[in-house]
């Protein structure tokens, strides 16, 4: 049976995540490497009572580090994926797991990404649940400065853009539920263009290797292993849509029978449960949950 490893993004973090890894030698080494790059301690932020973890600046590096450690520990137990994918920030965990870049290189990218996204302002994002897709697509096409940022499933998406444009869509599209997200900017939209240009200067300096297993990227949900193609997709990720609904369909076409969500929460297995009925779903958010 083919197995995909999937890596969640921002929003899946939980206070206390990774606390069970503090006594694991391999994890301790990773936490030390991370502190040298970040200038702060991932375990301290993850345990912080004042919820520093919910700040983009901290959320993204913490998730990447925890997901990378869990992937390492899974490989240590002889587990390997047949394909990988990650949701937004989770794509960095997926690329690390596929051997595309070193742990430190990925963390340097995530550090810069989190700084740029923390500084982003003036945009709005909103989650829409239960809607007519044709009506939504027509309204987005007619409304400047708003895009489909996360196409998560048939019934759940996130739109992103200027506050006026996002509010216009919320007013004109009938939904079961619409919720504005607590984020600083219009992520995964053209409004991130300046940030993306600055980020890409750093991205160009990082060595990418061919992936050991196929990677399904957010902006292009077709399997790829070529280093140059994967890097090109990551360049487009900050301004492009997260096409998770199509990634789910691709898993079905690839005959993936099992998905393991590597990281906290159950967001991606929740989406896959509805999109891929019959798929075996496993969550590995802690040391105890790693299959033996």
CATH number for the domain harbouring residue 174: 3.30.70.250
Q: What is the number of domains present in the chain? A: 2
**Residue 17, CA distances (Å) to 3, 14, 24, 262 in order:** 24, 6, 14, 12
Q: Torsion angle of alpha carbons 118, 124, 128, 133, nearest 10°?
A: -110
**What are φ and ψ of residue 173, in 5° steps?**
-110, 125
Of 188, 189, 217, 248, which one is the catalytic site residue?
188
**Whether 167 and 128 share a structural domain:** yes
Of 88, 114, 160, 217, which one is the catalytic site residue?
88
Buried b (16+ CB within 10 A) or exposed e, 10-47: bbbbebebbeebeebeebeebbeebeebbeeebbebbb
Domain boundary among 180, 206, 221: 180
Q: Which residues, 6 or more positions from 236, have their beta carbon under 8 angstroms from its beta carbon?
A: 219
**Whether 15 and 152 share a structural domain:** no
63 close to 93: Cβ distance less than 8 angstroms: yes
**Whether 145 and 229 share a structural domain:** no
Task: Give the burial class of 95: count Cβ atoms within 10 A of its Cβ; 0-12 exposed, 13-18 middle, 19 or more buried.
Answer: buried
Distance CA(184)–CA(250), nearest Å, equals 32
Which pLDDT belongs to residue 184? 82
Domain boundary among 180, 203, 223: 180
Domain boundary among 180, 208, 228: 180
**Residue 45, CA distances (Å) to 18, 58, 265 in order:** 11, 7, 18
**Whether 132 and 155 share a structural domain:** yes
Here the tokens at position 32 are 């030390």
**Whether 29 and 163 share a structural domain:** no
**Whether 156 and 285 share a structural domain:** no
**Whether 198 and 247 share a structural domain:** yes
Q: 0.95 exceeded by the pTM?
A: yes
Distance CA(219)–CA(46), nearest Å, equals 30
Q: What is the distance, to the nearest Å, from the Cα of residue 93 to the centroid of all Cα atoms in its chain?
A: 8
Here the tokens at position 288 are 């105890």
87 is catalytic: no
**Whether 101 and 25 share a structural domain:** yes
* 202: containing domain: 2-120+189-289
Here the tokens at position 254 are 């690839």
88 is catalytic: yes
Distance CA(30)–CA(25), nearest Å, equals 9
**Whether 149 and 6 share a structural domain:** no
Question: SS3 of 261, please?
Answer: strand
Interhelix angle 267-275/244-253, nearest 10 degrees: 60
**Whether 110 and 135 share a structural domain:** no
Which pLDDT belongs to residue 49? 85
**Whether 150 and 97 share a structural domain:** no
Largest Cα separation within the chain, whole Å, is: 55
146 close to 159: Cβ distance less than 8 angstroms: yes
Which among 72, 65, 115, 123 is positioned nearest to 90, based on CA atoms? Answer: 65
CA angle, residues 245, 109, 232, in degrees to nearest 5: 55
One digit per residue, the tens of pLDDT, for the chain of length 292 reads 999 999 999 999 999 999 999 999 999 999 999 999 999 999 999 999 888 999 999 999 999 999 999 999 999 999 999 999 999 999 999 999 999 999 999 999 999 999 999 999 999 999 999 999 999 999 999 999 999 999 999 999 999 999 999 999 999 999 999 999 988 899 999 999 999 999 999 999 999 999 999 999 999 999 999 999 999 999 999 999 999 999 999 999 999 999 999 999 999 999 999 999 999 999 999 999 999 8
**Whether 34 and 105 share a structural domain:** yes
Question: SS3 of 148, please?
Answer: strand
CATH of the domain at 281: 3.40.366.10
């Amino acid at each position: 049976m083919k197995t995909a490893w999937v890596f969640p993004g921002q929003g899946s973090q939980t206070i206390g995540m990774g606390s069970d890894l503090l006594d694991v030698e391999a994890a301790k080494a990773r936490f030390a490497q991370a502190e040298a790059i970040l200038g702060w301690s991932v375990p301290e932020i993850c345990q912080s009572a004042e919820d520093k973890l919910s700040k983009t600046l901290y959320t993204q590096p913490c998730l990447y580090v925890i997901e990378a450690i869990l992937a390492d520990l899974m490989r240590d137990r002889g587990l390997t994926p047949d394909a990988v994918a990650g949701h937004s920030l989770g794509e960095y965990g997926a690329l690390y797991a596929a051997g595309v870049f070193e742990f430190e290189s990925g963390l340097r990218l995530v550090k810069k990404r989190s700084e740029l996204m923390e500084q982003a302002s003036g945009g709005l994002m909103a989650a829409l649940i239960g809607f007519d897709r044709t009506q939504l697509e027509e309204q987005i096409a007619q409304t400047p400065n708003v895009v489909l940022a996360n196409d998560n499933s048939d019934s759940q998406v996130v739109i992103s853009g200027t506050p006026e444009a996002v509010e216009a869509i919320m007013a004109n599209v009938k939904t079961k539920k619409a919720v504005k997200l607590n984020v600083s900017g219009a992520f995964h939209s053209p409004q991130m263009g300046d940030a993306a240009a600055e980020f890409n200067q750093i991205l160009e300096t990082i060595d990418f290797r061919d992936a050991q297993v196929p990677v399904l990227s957010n902006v292009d949900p077709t399997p790829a292993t070529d280093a140059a193609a994967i890097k090109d997709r990551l360049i487009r990720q900050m301004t492009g849509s997260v096409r998770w609904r199509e990634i789910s369909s691709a898993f079905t076409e690839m005959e993936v029978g099992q998905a393991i969500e590597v990281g906290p929460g159950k967001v991606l297995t929740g989406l896959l449960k509805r999109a891929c009925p019959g798929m075996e779903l496993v969550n590995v958010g802690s040391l105890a949950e790693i299959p033996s």
